[in-house]
């Protein structure tokens, strides 16, 4: 395998060779209130494993949220909505009703 030129004391491998084994992975993070993007080269195999696990986690999380939502809807929605049967459908009226019930509002 022929290596690229020596720059700054480091050998550089041609991009064609690197891209067979590695992929570029970018992610966003916060630094001092700003969103920054970082890009790294990671082994292709590691990246594929990461994507599979991330997909599995997102699927499980989504399923869990759906189950919680359905449980809350089934057990509490009707009772919650009944608290507002006599209330006009605007923000001020709803917040007044919440205060009457002793539920803290922002």
49-67: pLDDT as tens digits: 999 999 999 999 999 999 9
Residue 79's Cβ-count burial label (10 Å; 0-12, 13-18, 19+) is: exposed
- Which phi and psi angles does 23 have, rounded to 5°? -130, 155
Tens of pLDDT, residue by residue over 32-50, are 999 999 999 999 999 999 9
Neighbours of 17 (CB within 10 A): 13
Task: Find residue 39's DSSP bridge partners.
Answer: 26
Q: Could you tell me the pTM of the whole model?
A: 0.60
Closest by CA to 22, choosing from 33, 13, 31, is 13
Report the C-alpha gap between 1 and 17 in whole angstroms: 9
Q: Count Cβ atoms below 10 Å from residue 18 Cβ, excluding itself.
A: 14
| Three-state secondary-structure class, residue 3 | coil
Structure tokens at 7: 């720059």
- pLDDT at position 93 is 94
């Amino acid at each position: 395998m022929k290596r690229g030129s020596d720059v700054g004391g480091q050998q550089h491998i041609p991009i064609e060779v690197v891209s067979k084994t590695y992929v570029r992975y970018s992610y966003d993070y916060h630094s001092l209130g700003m969103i920054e993007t970082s890009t790294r080269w990671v082994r292709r195999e590691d990246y594929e494993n990461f994507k599979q696990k991330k997909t599995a986690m997102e699927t499980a999380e989504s399923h869990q949220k759906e189950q919680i939502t359905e449980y809350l809807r089934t057990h509490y929605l009707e009772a919650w909505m009944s608290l507002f049967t006599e209330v006009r459908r605007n923000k001020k009226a709803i917040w007044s009703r919440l205060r009457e019930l002793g539920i803290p509002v922002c």
